[in-house]
Structure 1
Amino acid sequence: MTVVEIPGSKSITARALFLAAAAEGTTVLRRPLRSDDSEGFAEGLRTLGYRLDQQPDAWTVEGRPAGPALGEADVYCRDGATTARFLPTLAAAGQGTFRFDASAQMRRRPLGPLTRALRELGVDLTHEQAEGHHPLTLRADGIKGGALTLDAGLSSQFLTALLLAGPLTSDGLDITVSDLVSVPYVEMTLAMMRRFGNDARRVGDTFHVPPQGYRATDYLIEPDASTASYFLAAAALTGRSVTIPGLGSESLQGDIRFAEVLREMGAEVTLTPDSVTVTGPARLSGITVNMRDISDTVPTLAAIAPFADGPVRIEDVYNTRVKECDRLAACAENLTALGVRVETGRDWIEIHPAQPRSAPIACHGDHRIAMSFSITALRTEGGVTLDDPGCVRKTFPGFHDALADMRTTWGLD
């Protein structure tokens, strides 16, 4: 059995940084993720005037419930979706004029449902180029709050951004969702808000957030479940065993459910409160699975699907088309290049059994495509070649080294 240490959760780190910045007092975040996304979020907070001290294993954040310390700022959000969606919402609860921009990749990703909601709440916000996309400028004068309806069918981050800002409003928020994907991420947000002192709750399709301020805390960030999926998939694919410590049945992250998908494909899975172990079978079984709530692991499953004994069909994942790239199209393109028969529709992909051949992989600047197809290479003669291996820095800069160490341990080099 191989034990793999996974870095901190990207999603939890981003939410914790927002909560710490908005809380009364000084928060210590332990074992935060060190990656381009999380560093970009921290840089954005500093640009807005928040004070952070970043040590290797702990970040200290001085909270400002009143909002940014500066009356004017220009924030560059890099490639980070949480940075680009959460920080404008945080700034809107303060006072001043704040401009936000992002990379070309992030500029393409949608923002409209969130910014329409902010305008409905009275925020003065202007998109400088394409409506519903970065760059944008907002002239903040606090948020009164109230009731609104939100379409979160493209990204749960629109809802999360508003939930996080709810305690900073004068009247609280009642948000009714007309559509919602990635529900576990919203459940994670509510659990973290409660940890920081706000009793936000869901009743049916409506989320109630009282105007109850956050309190600083000492917060340990668990390992990233999406990142863990690559190593769990590697074990399932090769018939080896992998244990991920610190991530188990009590995880806040919905992507821990990827282990259950591997179980349905024939892997042996052991979940304890604080660990997950996967042991691969002689051969994986084909499966039809709805991955609407764990869509970040769609490329992981797609990358090992050709080795199953029957078709693997992944359904209800349209939102993967508006991530860092169109992930359904990217998976289909790369699998086809590997000699695998693939069919796709608006929100589904079906992958047929095949022995992949060596081929170049088009990463499309997407960390999840690069990491997923690195796992395909474990059983592809001649391996694969990534056109942008460095894009993994977005969430796991040490990924290639960690995978190489595991290959050596397993004698696969």
Structure 2
Amino acid sequence: MTVLAVPGSKSVTARALFLAAAADGVTVLRDPLLSDDTEGFAEGLTRLGYDVERSPGAWRITGRPAGPAAGHAEVFTRDAATAARFLPALAAAGHGTFRFDASAQMRRRPVAPLTEALRTLGVDLAYEGEEGHLPLRVVADGVKGGAIELDASLSSQFLTALLLLGPLTKEGLRIRVTGIVSVPYVEITLAMMRRFGVEVAREGDTFVVPPGGYRAQDYPIEPDASTASYVFAAAALAGRTATVPGLGRDALQGDLRFVDVLERMGARVETTADATTVTGTGRLSGLTVAMRDISDTMPTLAAIAPFADGPVRIEDVYNTRVKECDRLEACALNLRAQGIEVATGRDWIEIHPGTPKPVEIACHRDHRIAMSFAVAGLRTPGTTFDDPGCVKKTFPGFHAFFADLRRTWEV
């Protein structure tokens, strides 16, 4: 058995940074993820005037319930969707003029569902380029609150941004949601808000967020379940056993449910109070699986799918087309380049068994494409990548980590 410590959760770290900035007092985040996305988020907070002290193993953030200390700020959110979508909501609760921009990749991703909701709440904002996309200017004067409707069919991050904003408004929020995806990520948000002192009520498709603010916490960041999917898939593919501590029965992240998919394919899975273990059995069965709620792990499954004994069909993953790249199409193109038969539709991909040939994987500047096909490379020696450095977004040390794993397993 190989015990592998994976980095902290990107999703949890980003939410914790918002909550810490909004809370009354000093919050300590234990073992936050150190990556381009989270560094960009923390830098954004600093530009907005928050006191962020970073040291090894812990970040200390002095919260400001009244909003950013800066009256004016230029914030560059890099490739980070969480920063690009959460920070404008945080800034709206304060007073001042704040401009948000991002990389060319992030500029292509939508923010309109969130910004239109903020406009409904009376926030003065304007796009400086393409409608519905960054760059964005926010002229903030606090948020009164009230009732709004939100289309969350493209990303749950729009809902999370509004949920996190709710306690900072004068009257709270009633958010009626349509078309929600990635529900487990919303559950992470609600659980973390509860930890910081806010209880959100749910009435059918409506979330009721009370005003009143947050309380500072000493908050540990659990390992990243999406990153752990690469370890678990590698074990299933290589016929080895891998244990990830810190991701047990009470883990916040829904992407841990990826192990249920591996179990359906033939792997053995054991989940205890504080760890999850996957053992490969030498067999992977084909299956049909809906991955709407764990869509960040879709590329992981797609990359190893050719090694199954039957077709693997992944359904209900349209939202993967508006991530860092069109992930569904990127997986299909790379698999076809490897000589694998693939069919796709609007929200599905079907991958047939085969023996992938080693090729240069087109990463499309997407960390999840690179890491997923690195896992499949255990069975396809000679696989290379056109942009191996894109993993810095969430796991800068991934390639060294994975090389160590290969040596340990002698594969």
Matched position secondary structure for 1:288: strand
Instruction: Quote the residue 2:297 is aligned against.
Output: 297
Mapping for residues 262-281 of structure 1, pairs under 5 Å: 262-281=262-281
Any stretches of 5+ residues in structure 1 without a counterpart?
none
CA drift of 1:199 comes to: 1.0
Please tell me whether residue 77 in structure 1 is matched to residue 77 in structure 2.
yes
For these two proteins, the number of residue pairs brought into alignment is: 411
Letter in 2 for 1:193: M
Matched position secondary structure for 1:298: helix
| Contact in 2 for aligned 1:190/1:201 (Cα 8 Å) | no
Please tell me whether residue 195 in structure 1 is matched to residue 195 in structure 2.
yes
Measured in 2, the distance between the counterparts of 1:251 and 1:376 equals: 26
Matched position secondary structure for 1:199: coil
CA drift of 1:248 comes to: 1.4
Letter in 1 for 2:407: T
Residue deviations 1:360-382 (CA, integer Å, cap 9, x gap): 100000000000000111001x3
Instruction: Quote the residue 2:110 is aligned against.
Output: 110
Measured in 1, the distance between the counterparts of 2:124 and 2:114 equals: 13
TM-score normalized by the length of structure 1: 0.99
Across the aligned residues of Structure 1 and Structure 2, the Cα RMSD in angstroms comes to 0.5
Instruction: Quote the residue 1:397 is aligned against.
Output: 396
Residue deviations 1:378-410 (CA, integer Å, cap 9, x gap): 001x33110000000000011111101110011
Instruction: Quote the residue 1:181 is aligned against.
Output: 181
Measured in 1, the distance between the counterparts of 2:274 and 2:363 equals: 32
> Following superposition, which runs of at least 4 residues in structure 1 exceed 4 angstroms of deviation?
none
CA drift of 1:274 comes to: 1.2
Measured in 1, the distance between the counterparts of 2:202 and 2:334 equals: 40
Letter in 2 for 1:104: A
Measured in 2, the distance between the counterparts of 1:228 and 1:29 equals: 21
Please tell me whether residue 353 in structure 1 is matched to residue 353 in structure 2.
yes
Mapping for residues 215-234 of structure 1, pairs under 5 Å: 215-234=215-234
Matched position secondary structure for 1:16: helix
Mapping for residues 85-234 of structure 1, pairs under 5 Å: 85-234=85-234
| Contact in 2 for aligned 1:6/1:223 (Cα 8 Å) | yes
Any stretches of 5+ residues in structure 2 without a counterpart?
none
| Contact in 2 for aligned 1:40/1:78 (Cα 8 Å) | yes
Identity in percent: 72
Letter in 2 for 1:163: L
Measured in 2, the distance between the counterparts of 1:150 and 1:256 equals: 27
Residue deviations 1:163-186 (CA, integer Å, cap 9, x gap): 000000000000000110000000
TM-score normalized by the length of structure 2: 1.00
CA drift of 1:213 comes to: 1.0
Please tell me whether residue 374 in structure 1 is matched to residue 374 in structure 2.
yes
Matched position secondary structure for 1:300: helix
Instruction: Quote the residue 2:387 is aligned against.
Output: 388
Residue deviations 1:340-373 (CA, integer Å, cap 9, x gap): 0000000000000001111110000000000000
Instruction: Quote the residue 2:235 is aligned against.
Output: 235
Measured in 1, the distance between the counterparts of 2:62 and 2:289 equals: 43
Please tell me whether residue 364 in structure 1 is matched to residue 364 in structure 2.
yes
Measured in 1, the distance between the counterparts of 2:212 and 2:279 equals: 46
Measured in 2, the distance between the counterparts of 1:320 and 1:163 equals: 23
Letter in 2 for 1:283: R
Instruction: Quote the residue 2:43 is aligned against.
Output: 43
Instruction: Quote the residue 1:314 is aligned against.
Output: 314
Please tell me whether residue 408 in structure 1 is matched to residue 376 in structure 2.
no
| Contact in 2 for aligned 1:365/1:391 (Cα 8 Å) | yes
